[in-house]
Amino acid sequence: MIVTLKGDITSEQYQSLIERIEDKGLVPWPDKGTSKTVVGIRGDTTKIEPDYFMADGVESVTRISTPYKLVSREFHPSDYVIDVSGVKIGNGYFAVIAGPCSVESEEQLFAAAKAVKEAGAQLFRGGAFKPRTSPYAFQGLGEEGLGLLVKARDRFGLPVVTEIMSEKQIGLFARYDIDMYQVGARNMQNFDLLKELGRVGKPVLLKRGGLEGTIENWLSAAEYIVSEGNPNVVLCERGVKGIETKAYRNTLDLNAVAAVKRLSYLPVIADPSHGTGNLSLIPDISLSSIAAGANGLLIEVHPDRRKALSDAHQQLSPEEFGRLMKEIPKFVRLRRKIEKLRKALG
């Protein structure tokens, strides 16, 4: 439920509204990011009539129809900007997260960081903990990998993004001051992890689940984080299982990129590396994602993919990545035209 306040609400009227909300065992959720000041109500409001909260100083009370509330555009109409250690994403700010699939060695990681920095990426990624289908596949360097990421950050100045697999790792991630915590597709509905990340407050990159990732489930996963008090969520479309099995591994769902932007104010980025699983499609799908409204891209880059310990078939070389990066500004400008057209269509 959302309570929209009148511009001239007095502090006594405001206080009395907050008390009415709390008396029902609900949590008031003020949002001052819009021109009209609104107060969201967190908790189960299904048995309460909106009129209950009508009072002096209140303009209207509306029920949000979707199962996710605090991440919906109904609650906050304008786009959010998420700040990752000084790098902005969303509402006109475009950011590229690039780096190898896995942290393999200092030599490999530094070569990748140098290359993506020189090409103009804003954030550096690399997996230290790897969720692999087979227990015999490379599981990542673990804590040693986090240490190497931090060394690369200190050397090249790019904030780091890496995957967290369990709430038990939060203390470890905090010790290394990881800038952005990635929740992988397999963990999109790991509710204990999502809730804990909501209490931590660090920016979260929330990937869409491959099988359970309906738009509603994805935004509900974001709601778990935001409703615990962490508004810093960036959504990441990383491909879903389609009917194709040979030409590409996953289907990057451009509809989803466009659709979540209608339904939520959270930034959304696209991951064409995992979203296609096919190196040759990455330029096409990267630039199409920008046209569809993505606020950023996640692209895997490896200094020598023949030696990669995971996802060898989908990581760009530094040279290929550099060429792709040069094309991005044109597509960001193209997107502004598309945005105008979209708004004209209503």
The site for Mn ion (CB under 5 A) is made up of 101, 311
Least separation in angstroms between residue 130's CB and Mn ion is 8
Residue 138 or residue 331: which is nearer to Mn ion going by CB? Answer: 138
Residue 196 or residue 311: which is nearer to Mn ion going by CB? Answer: 311
Least separation in angstroms between residue 38's CB and Mn ion is 39
Least separation in angstroms between residue 187's CB and Mn ion is 14
Residue 178 or residue 219: which is nearer to Mn ion going by CB? Answer: 178
Residue 95 or residue 101: which is nearer to Mn ion going by CB? Answer: 101
* The pair of three-digit structure tokens given for residue 34, joined into one six-digit string: 């819009």
Angle, alpha carbons 157-159-160 (nearest 5°)? 125
Q: Please tell me the distance from the alpha carbon of residue 264 to that of residue 267, in angstroms, as a whole number.
A: 8
SS (H, E, C) 121-161: CCEEECECCCCCCCCCCCCCCCHHHHHHHHHHHHHHCCCEE
Least separation in angstroms between residue 191's CB and Mn ion is 24
Residue 101 or residue 158: which is nearer to Mn ion going by CB? Answer: 101
Least separation in angstroms between residue 101's CB and Mn ion is 3
Least separation in angstroms between residue 314's CB and Mn ion is 7
Residue 179 or residue 311: which is nearer to Mn ion going by CB? Answer: 311
Residue 313 or residue 333: which is nearer to Mn ion going by CB? Answer: 313
Of all residues in the shown chain, the one whose CB is closest to Mn ion is 101
Q: Please tell me the distance from the alpha carbon of residue 165 to that of residue 186, in angstroms, as a whole number.
A: 9
Least separation in angstroms between residue 311's CB and Mn ion is 4
Which residues, other chains included, contact 335 with Cβ-Cβ below 8 Å and sequence gap of 6+?
290, 291, 293
Which residues, other chains included, contact 89 with Cβ-Cβ below 8 Å and sequence gap of 6+?
81, 82, 83, 95, 234, 267, 269, 295, 296
For residue 214, CA distances in Å to 95, 182, 239, 263, 296 come to 25, 19, 12, 13, 21
Residue 76 or residue 305: which is nearer to Mn ion going by CB? Answer: 305
Name the nearest CA neighbour of 141 among 111, 109, 167, 168: 109
For residue 338, CA distances in Å to 55, 235, 263, 343 come to 42, 21, 18, 9
Least separation in angstroms between residue 103's CB and Mn ion is 11
Residue 101 or residue 309: which is nearer to Mn ion going by CB? Answer: 101
CA 309 distance to own-chain centroid: 26
Least separation in angstroms between residue 310's CB and Mn ion is 6
SS (H, E, C) 8-74: CCCHHHHHHHHHHHHHCCCEEEEECCCCCCEEEEECCCCCCCHHHHCCCCEEEEECCCCCCCCCECC
